[in-house]
Structure 1
């Protein structure tokens, strides 16, 4: 329960937080559970790896990217955000259920696009609501709770989804994970609170509204933004390609069952990513007070450290166990955990970095623009590129495809390095040191840190 001294915060406030958090968990499950189901879906429909990359990535990302910005804009224009999130949750949950009833690859593609239509209107209104449901001194904790959704979603999707698929078939996975979202949508509609919109920055609201083109041009011209966006795009391409295809790699090359692959990948990735995200924030917090460029260099370091862990996952002999504290541990588990720990550094810290190089009236647009790079290149092209390369290489194609995809991390780190030369927060150094601006209490709060301007972002960590 979230403590509060605000008389307006009551059990319905906490209930709304709980429902929004659960809805976010299931949105991430519904979006990414297909990663553990690629092999059985491919076999039933006779699809290629390229086609499965299209199904798991580009079909979702394209629709999501086209709709997320206009839907977020609508949410800021005064519509009832509680109702909007409830309706969108109901839509993507129904579409998820329909994914389990499809009879061909192309109807599955349409169902996946339906999931994207609903999810495009869920994240930004939720963040906007939470920023006004609680007083300022509680928002960091509240948004941190909400932002645990991706990690918990990945863990549940892999572990439970893999077991259900093995025991009852891949279609049952979509039925089981889609149905709770329909119930949550109904509960939010009847028991959630639509908070009163705050006016915390009247001086900004009085400013003239700029055209979208001039707004985006100003953001792109911000110091270091374009290089950071390109770095995120490449890191996202490699990262999403890995997340979607790694469980299939375990099934194909290490002869694991769906349940075993989901268990190993889910626990190793989910737990390590939570720890890594918190660790990176604490460290970056302290380093930034000495030199603000660590806001760029620290996520770059995480990318570089995750690279050898990803390579080792592919090249380490599967029959060669690793001794740790007297126990023989699967090398796959260790390398997946190491990769997740280090690779969790860059997403939230990058959003925090962007929030420092634009004015408060531009932060939501800047974050949305960065998210556009991540969604189109990462969630869209990552799985498709990896699947296409797998088909191209033929025998042992998926392993070689992942190795090529991992190489994008090196180019991504190079773009981060270039960005660090240009990067400079709007605040002067003295103010930055006093305020410890990009904290990972503000990094887990990477999205939330911008909550005071009704921060809107899609999601992608990962």
Structure 2
């Protein structure tokens, strides 16, 4: 009996590993996104423009993150992925703490770049581990649980970050989130086990392509030559511009246009968008696992549908009348928050389903690099360009629309999601054909 090729069983240790990896991803997004609720006080203290703040939240992070993601992902495809995740979590948590002691704009810029150095090694190895923890029929749902990280991270960063900043100042926020991250890194190192690569694949006994013998550039070129992977990367890159521009600048929009305080905006917008995205990510993963058992085209079809539904909701967030609101006790909740919840629900589908799709269309020995490649497009275009482009458009529109400049800037970048829908629609058939090629003869 060849037990070496028998797939492992899903048990409590599997779920615990998934929970810890998801928690790491949550903290990575807290550290990445908390700056959005702190834009206004940091901007005023440093005397920066919207363009400079867009550069700080976007390009300062995105360039290094994108540049290091693929090399680290390539390393993770041949080395212990658990160790890489734990080390990177410790690095970015220490860098987050350093943001709290910056006294000048350039110091904050360098600190944000340091956060990117650590976070570059979190996503790719984690997606690869999760893909090997669960069989294909459970993979989309497992990845959807992991992909709650950005949504819960944004929610916690906005809500708790806004409260801490309101009472203790913006510097205390970075320390409050950085210190627990260092502890979490140690827990991951001690508890999570490195799973066997490709253990659940039907062809587990067949040696996978020895990707490590290729040069990194040749491997990236070969992966991008896959039509469905290339179109998914482009679609997610454009969606990243819209998504990161929206998530970084929306709190400032509610402070400027709706007159909210930093804690008020963080609480209401954080809960509305965060809860919507959490439920959306889990729902689309659950639905995908069921529909793709009958037809694999649903994997990207659902991504296209969700993204399309997010567009009108996103536009409504910024153009619904300021005078319309509910009162929940003493808390003022604009009607626009209902659309923020809807946008969060549908807007979370594309990333969850795309990472799952990429993990399905490559061999187990290339999952870290493939996830890092998708992450490169989302980060370089999304994190790198989304906040910066939105800030530049805000400065531009402010010349003719005054305080409404940010409103028009956010509407413009949110509308880019239509382009993402087109890319996903074009990728559906090539994706199905790629999966058929991977089926054992």
Which TM-score band (shorter chain)? 0.7 to 0.9
> For 1:39-50, what aligned pairs fall within 5 Å after superposition?
39-50=40-51
**1:438 match:** none
Q: Is the 8 A contact 2:301 2:428 kept in 1?
A: yes
2:71 is equivalent to residue 70 of structure 1? yes
The equivalent position to 2:304 in structure 1, one of 300, 307, 318, is: 300
Query: Are residues 339 and 111 of structure 1, via their aligned partners in 2, closer, same or farther at CA, if it must alter by over 3 Å?
Result: same
Q: CA deviation at 1:152?
A: 1.9
Q: Is the 8 A contact 1:302 1:346 kept in 2?
A: yes
**1:195 match:** 194
Query: Are residues 102 and 301 of structure 1, via their aligned partners in 2, closer, same or farther at CA, if it must alter by over 3 Å?
Result: same
- For 2:284 and 2:196, the matched residues in 1 are separated by 33
**1:204 match:** 207
- For 1:195 and 1:356, the matched residues in 2 are separated by 20
Query: Are residues 363 and 181 of structure 1, via their aligned partners in 2, closer, same or farther at CA, if it must alter by over 3 Å?
Result: closer
2:406 is equivalent to residue 398 of structure 1? yes
**1:219 match:** 223
**2:4 match:** none
Q: Is the 8 A contact 1:219 1:362 kept in 2?
A: no
SS in 2 for 1:47: coil
Q: Larger deviation: 397-406 or 355-364?
A: 355-364
Q: CA deviation at 1:153?
A: 1.3
> For 1:242-261, what aligned pairs fall within 5 Å after superposition?
242-261=246-265
Query: Are residues 150 and 140 of structure 1, via their aligned partners in 2, closer, same or farther at CA, if it must alter by over 3 Å?
Result: same
SS in 2 for 1:203: coil
Q: CA deviation at 1:216?
A: 2.9
Q: CA deviation at 1:72?
A: 2.3
The equivalent position to 1:232 in structure 2, one of 231, 236, 241, is: 236
The equivalent position to 1:367 in structure 2, one of 344, 365, 371, is: 371
- For 1:163 and 1:218, the matched residues in 2 are separated by 47
Q: CA deviation at 1:414?
A: 2.5
- 1:300-333 CA-to-partner distances (Å, cap 9, x unmatched) read 2212211111111111111123799xxx963122
Q: Is the 8 A contact 1:129 1:194 kept in 2?
A: no
Q: CA deviation at 1:145?
A: 4.8
Q: Is the 8 A contact 2:77 2:369 kept in 1?
A: no
Q: Larger deviation: 130-139 or 297-306?
A: 130-139
> Which sections of structure 1, spanning at least 5 residues, go unmatched?
433-462
- 1:326-358 CA-to-partner distances (Å, cap 9, x unmatched) read xx9631220100111111111111223334544
- For 1:253 and 1:118, the matched residues in 2 are separated by 35
2:130 is equivalent to residue 122 of structure 1? no
- 1:233-270 CA-to-partner distances (Å, cap 9, x unmatched) read 11111111000100111111000111111111111112
- For 1:283 and 1:135, the matched residues in 2 are separated by 16
**1:268 match:** 272
- For 2:166 and 2:355, the matched residues in 1 are separated by 38
> For 1:8-407, what aligned pairs fall within 5 Å after superposition?
19-79=20-80, 81-128=81-128, 145-189=145-189, 191-195=190-194, 197=196, 200=199, 201-205=204-208, 209-288=213-292, 291-321=295-325, 330-394=334-398, 395=402, 396-407=404-415
**1:444 match:** none
SS in 2 for 1:378: helix
- For 1:97 and 1:225, the matched residues in 2 are separated by 36
- For 1:140 and 1:232, the matched residues in 2 are separated by 17
- For 1:277 and 1:10, the matched residues in 2 are separated by 22
**2:417 match:** 409
> Which sections of structure 2, spanning at least 5 residues, go unmatched?
1-6
Q: Is the 8 A contact 2:198 2:365 kept in 1?
A: no
Query: Are residues 260 and 233 of structure 1, via their aligned partners in 2, closer, same or farther at CA, if it must alter by over 3 Å?
Result: same
SS in 2 for 1:425: helix
Query: Are residues 199 and 246 of structure 1, via their aligned partners in 2, closer, same or farther at CA, if it must alter by over 3 Å?
Result: closer
SS in 1 for 2:230: helix
Query: How many aligned positions are there?
Result: 421
- For 1:281 and 1:206, the matched residues in 2 are separated by 28
Query: Are residues 133 and 353 of structure 1, via their aligned partners in 2, closer, same or farther at CA, if it must alter by over 3 Å?
Result: closer
- For 1:304 and 1:67, the matched residues in 2 are separated by 32
Query: Are residues 406 and 334 of structure 1, via their aligned partners in 2, closer, same or farther at CA, if it must alter by over 3 Å?
Result: same
Q: CA deviation at 1:143?
A: 5.6
- For 1:226 and 1:137, the matched residues in 2 are separated by 24
Cα RMSD over matched residues?
Answer: 3.3
Q: TM-score when scaled to structure 1?
A: 0.81
Query: Are residues 174 and 227 of structure 1, via their aligned partners in 2, closer, same or farther at CA, if it must alter by over 3 Å?
Result: same
Q: Is the 8 A contact 1:356 1:425 kept in 2?
A: no
